[in-house]
Amino acid sequence: MPSIESYTTALSDDAEENCLRVVSYGGGVQSTALLVLAAQNRLPYRTFLFANVGDDSEHPATLTYLREVAIPYATRYGLELRQLARKRRDGSTETLMQRLKRTESRSIPIPVRMANGAPGRRSCTAEFKIKVIGRWLRDHGATADAPATVAIGISVDEIHRANRRRAEQHERVAYPLLDLGLRRADCEMVIREAGLPIPPKSACFFCPFKSAQGWRQLRQDEPALFSEAARLEDIINQRRKALGRDPVYLTRYGRPLAAAIPADAVSDSVGELDGSCDSGWCMT
């Protein structure tokens, strides 16, 4: 495993070949560790881009951490942590929730579950994260001949995710945490040693990749968000019914959310890992 100092030297030498270098900031543990390492001048990244899929879609805890902890910390150390949003052709902002609730929409951009529990196709990551950052990079000079470097915060214990992130033609993807051999626990230590609180898992509060344990926790601790997710599921199925299509669900259990995760379900600390956008992109 290379030391952070030797890795920094190698990246600094490479930085002269590619002046546009950014970190895709997801609001979670791994990308916050990248923020701390950059603030300590241990990684040569000064710009962090948070593709906000919408204040009505991101989990509120992630937005609170972003605005009350991450942005002030970045500012203190001369880093830029910029929020980006998806823009329509007329220049207005579109959130993921707005897209999902559009009455004329015939497709569903999130990976809702089919009746057999299998996830459907999704375009939310591409449309609301990758393309949003890609557009910013193009606007700031990135081209196929002079691509920008986009650092993604995937740690060693999630190495299987590294090759699933699609790159735009005008960018190349880097994985500093993999190169440094850092695991999620190491990232948490980096954050704590900087005096920062550990960020919550970042993901849309209605993400179908949430585990049963995650849904139980949401219903128990944040019932208003759980109810909003259930309403969204109902809106989607009302539209599908009008189109003559089978219902879909936010869980793998083949029934509406409120029935799949009953109010008396007991939440515990044991369960599957939730899908998240901690690293800057979705879990899969």
Tens of pLDDT, residues 99-145: 999 988 888 999 999 888 888 888 999 999 999 999 999 999 999 99
CA distance 129 to 127: 6
pLDDT attached to residue 2: 47
Q: How confident is the model at residue 166 (pLDDT cuts 50, 70, 90)?
A: low
Average pLDDT, rounded, for the chain:
88
Contact 180, 4 (CB under 8 A): yes
139-162: average pLDDT: 92
Tens of pLDDT, residues 72-108: 999 999 999 999 999 998 989 999 999 999 988 888 9
Torsion of CA 250, 252, 257, 263, to 10 degrees: -140
Residue percentage of the chain with pLDDT more than 70: 85
User: What is the longest distance spanned by two Cα atoms in the chain?
Assistant: 60
Tens of pLDDT, residues 211-236: 999 999 999 999 999 999 999 999 99
Strands (E), the chain: 21-24, 47-51, 80-84, 148-151, 171-174
Tens of pLDDT, residues 19-53: 799 999 999 999 999 999 999 999 999 999 999 99
Those residues with Cβ within 8 angstroms of residue 256's Cβ, 6 or more apart along the chain or in another chain? 230, 233, 234, 249
CA distance 253 to 268: 19
pLDDT attached to residue 269: 45
Torsion of CA 215, 218, 223, 225, to 10 degrees: -90
Measure CA 194 to chain center. Answer: 23
Tens of pLDDT, residues 185-194: 999 999 999 9
pLDDT attached to residue 283: 38
Supply the DSSP string of 167-199, one letter for each residue: PPTTEEEE-HHHHHT--HHHHHHHHHHTTPPPP
pLDDT attached to residue 17: 54
Those residues with Cβ within 8 angstroms of residue 261's Cβ, 6 or more apart along the chain or in another chain? 212, 215, 216, 219, 226, 251
CA distance 88 to 95: 10
Kindly list the structural domains of the chain, giving each domain's residue range(s) and its CATH number in brackets, ordered by start: 4-204 (3.40.50.620), 210-270 (no CATH)
Q: Which of 105-119, 158-172, 247-261 has the lowest mean pLDDT?
A: 158-172
How many C-beta atoms surround the C-beta of residue 125 within 10 A? 22
Contact 79, 37 (CB under 8 A): no
